[in-house]
Amino acid sequence: MGNSAGDNGRDTHGAADFARLRAEEFGYLDETHQIYLDHTGAAPVPRSLPAAHAARLGGAAYGNPHTESPASAASTELVEAARRRVLRFLDADPAEYTVVFTANASQAVKLVGEAYPFGGRTGSLLLTQDNHNSVNGVREFARTAGAKAGLVPFDGNALRVSDAAVRRALTGRRRGLFCYPAQSNFSGVRHPLEWVAEARAAGWHTLLDAAAYLPTGTLSLRRVPADFTVVSWYKVFGYPSGVGSLVARREALAALRRPWFAGGTIKVVSARARWHRMARAPEAFEDGTPDFHAVPQLVTGLDWYEDVGAAAVAAHVDRLTGRLLAGLAGLRRRDGGPLVHVYGPRDTERRGGTVALNVLDRQGRVVDERIVARECAAAGISVRTGCFCNPGAGEEAFAIAPRLLRRTGARRRRADTIDGYIRRLGLPSGGAVRVSPGIANTPEDIDRFVEFLAETFSAGTPVSEGLAPRLVC
């Protein structure tokens, strides 16, 4: 897998090491006869991490950190240690960067979007077409402020965003906030990390979405100096969930203007005179009480992950992804046609371990992804189906004309359903199947999944009766 920066570990683990890791930390998958292939959604929980959490909580008292009691001081010390550990993992200079703890990556994005000074020629928004909806949603803050919002399209090549178009947009007349994912959560494509330095050199602030990237990629913020980087830790090492981070350059954070305040974010406030003074970052961005039980577990999780070795994980997932892509390419229907269609790169060059596909029927038509989901669930296989909160990638993958999208969006009705939109767009299905191998997998998992597809779909499509309506995109 290409396009990583930094050195968070050497590739010192081979197949035997990951087989042992599977037995020791993820043995419950075999004990319950499950194949887990949704690492882009969340990494499975290693057995040792919640055990370490329970041992810590059972050994001392920890209190709300917003005071100076012994229990509060103990929590404060652990939270600050977690902040330092995150910066070390991302090779970020503490004098230049700080860490804001959030509930998830989406909240981290929202903190930037709601406080960014949109408006005028220096307050524009630039998005790539490949973005998670958490980032797409920033355009509503820009729209409310009357700011321009540009979109850099795909270049028609394996769901990659046009490099030349990015550079043209960055060197245009406007400046502001440029947002893009280091890795697509739809296709696994890795976009150039070099865009960060190019954007900053051109006068843009940069928001780098690293949520899908970090589980199999290393990142050095000394080499990739993003102003804002958003992270979801349960995608990296599984536990705890409910903790994300906004890793921000201190000077960029100082340029934000929060639209409200809450407990913990202020130094002093008057109710009657209606004035307040914000606390210094990062506290000014951590609304209410931080999760002082979960945040310290990031230290344990990062220590565990780096003991395995980030580069070793990347190489392991690279091998699994190559095995998966080769297996999928070899699947055939009875008439000799391909059984699956893969969206995005068909090899492991400049991509991560996320593969989006649709199964095809006897006539080469897309099989409703709900059928695939149902059959996978019955076989104990966990994959993800839908559009994965990435409409830009889905619109490109399914070749939906912009004019049709505009016309469909203009015909809004209160009783609209997801299935109604799908019918009006003329789509054969509501999304795709996302298969994402990761740290907990073995080559046997990949082989069993490929064999499952062959056995279940090569002779024909299972019946479609009884499929539930789609509730979300």
Q: Which residue numbers are catalytic?
A: 389
Tell me how far apart the alpha carbons of residues 395 and 417 are, in angstroms, rounded to a whole number. 18
Identify whether 240 is preceded by a cis peptide bond (ω within 30 of 0): yes
Tell me how far apart the alpha carbons of residues 430 and 387 are, in angstroms, rounded to a whole number. 7
Considering all CA atoms of the chain, what is the largest pairwise distance in Å, rounded to the nearest integer?
A: 78
Q: What proportions of the chain, in percent to the nearest 5, are helix, strand and coil?
A: 35, 15, 45
Tell me how far apart the alpha carbons of residues 81 and 460 are, in angstroms, rounded to a whole number. 56
Query: Residue 336 contacts by C-beta under 8 Å, 6 or more apart in sequence?
Result: none
Tell me how far apart the alpha carbons of residues 333 and 175 are, in angstroms, rounded to a whole number. 51
Query: Residue 69 contacts by C-beta under 8 Å, 6 or more apart in sequence?
Result: 63
Give the CA distances from residue 396 to residues 23, 31, 55, 215, 391, in Å, rounded to whole numbers and listed in that order.
Answer: 40, 40, 48, 25, 9
Query: Is the CB of residue 240 less than 8 Å from the CB of residue 294?
Result: yes
377 CB burial (10 A radius; 0-12, 13-18, 19+): exposed
Tell me how far apart the alpha carbons of residues 230 and 106 are, in angstroms, rounded to a whole number. 8
What 20-27 contacts at long range (C-beta under 8 Å, 24+ apart), as own/partner pairs, is: 21/308, 21/439, 21/440, 22/440, 22/441, 22/442, 25/440, 26/440
